[in-house]
Amino acid sequence: MLSLSNILTHPVVVGLLVAAAGATLLSISNSYAIDSDDDEEKVKPIPYLPGGHPILGHTLLMARNLDRFQDWLVETSVARNGEPFVLRQPGKNDWLFSARPEDFEQILKVHFDTFIKGPQVRELLDDFMGENIVIINGHRWKFQRKALVNLFTAKALRDHMTPIVQKCALALQRVFAKAAKEDGVLDVHHIMGRFTLETFAEIEFGAQLGLLESGKDHAFETAIDDANHISLERFAVPMWVWKLKRWLNVGSERRLRQDMEAISTFVMGCISGAIERRKQRQEAAARGEPLGPVAKDIVSILLDSEDTTGEPVLPQDVYNISLPECWLAKTQREMQQVG
């Protein structure tokens, strides 16, 4: 297996940081609409990855690497010097993978309208992602993108993030210091993953999970990990397999349903709390009472945007906008496993 240091110094690393999580969202047909002979000469077909079966395509190859799918994608991309390749599965559109930053610029920016998220991707990720920016198109995508852009350019959010990151960094330092003093052993990947989620949860929801120093699992942490893993597994198995399991409510699909209940309970609980605090502030302002400090977590900022834009912000909208950030936090943790 490639070492982490070798991967980090490889020229295609920028693309790889998003390839394992993002490339599978781009399901495209391997056919092209050619209007003329001149156009045909300009098209450079993207090759299939060698080793596919004439009938089953790359299904068996993907299944063999299911438990280390992201590592396998990275190794394959590095071996090909970042050049794109296509995987084939019967009954599904071809899957294009690329680790070149210039390709991501074309797909996600220059020609974004061409590379829509198709119905297969929506069906595979809908139970986990729902109606959010990762899998939607059109007006809803633009609405959520605008909300996210406004969020991360807001000075209030930047001011809110800095002390939280500093606080969690100090907690992390104490964990390392305690382990050093006791001559203990730490799973650094697990600890850094908890640092990411602990920081994210307070920035996003204003919730303090207490993961770092308590050493205890949190229902939200466990559910987001499991739901992400199960959803990505769907890409590597025939569609009928996971659909049958979902219909029977057995195995991994049963766990996914339970995971989503836990995620929804946690996130909607945070949103309900923010709505109640906002209502109390409005009532206090109407009575002329002094107001306490304004909450600056992302959920509260989204709810307060109703006052400036005049557009109603529904709890489900806040849920749909905040969930992709849960997924991105999870993806960052997964990428730390590479190598």
**Any idea what the CATH number is for the domain that residue 186 is in?**
1.10.630.10
Q: Tokens 């950030």, residue?
A: 325
Q: Considering 68, 90, 115, which residue would you say is the last residue of a domain? A: 115
Who wins on pLDDT, 221 or 158?
221
The region of weakest confidence among 16-20, 49-53, 331-335 is 16-20
Q: Are residues 39 and 99 in the same domain?
A: yes
- Is the same domain home to 172 and 55? no
Domain co-membership, 108 together with 229? no
Domain annotation covers residue 140: no
Give 237-260 pLDDT, tens digit per residue.
888 899 999 999 999 999 999 999
**Least trusted range by pLDDT, from 91-95, 149-153, 316-320, 331-335:** 331-335
Residue 174 included in any domain: yes
Pair 315, 212 in one domain: yes
Domain that holds residue 315: 152-335
Structural domain total, the chain = 2
110 and 178 inside one domain: no
- Picking from 234, 259, 236, 246, the residue whose alpha carbon sits closest to that of residue 326 is 259
CA distance linking residue 73 with residue 338, whole number of Å: 10
Residues 102 and 163 in one domain: no
In a domain, 135, yes or no: no
Domain termination residue (choose one: 98, 115, 132): 115
Same domain, 90 and 214: no
The answer to whether residue 130 is domain-embedded is no
Q: How sure is the predictor about 29, in pLDDT bands with cuts at 50, 70 and 90?
A: very low
Look at residue 11 in the predicted model and tell me its pLDDT.
Answer: 36
Among 90, 115, 140, the domain boundary falls at 115
Residue 264 has pLDDT above 70, yes or no: yes
Torsion of CA 25, 31, 37, 41, to 10 degrees: 50
- In a domain, residue 120? The reply is no
Is 133 part of any domain? no
Q: What size, in residues, is the chain?
A: 339
Q: Would you say residue 143 lies in a domain?
A: no
Say if residues 221 and 197 touch (Cβ distance below 8 Å).
Answer: yes
Instruction: Tell me the per-residue pLDDT of 77-136, one tens digit each, with 9 for 90 and over.
Output: 999 988 999 999 887 778 888 888 888 888 777 887 777 777 778 888 889 888 777 777
Residue 338 pLDDT exceeds 60? no
> In this structure, are 105 and 160 located in the same domain?
no
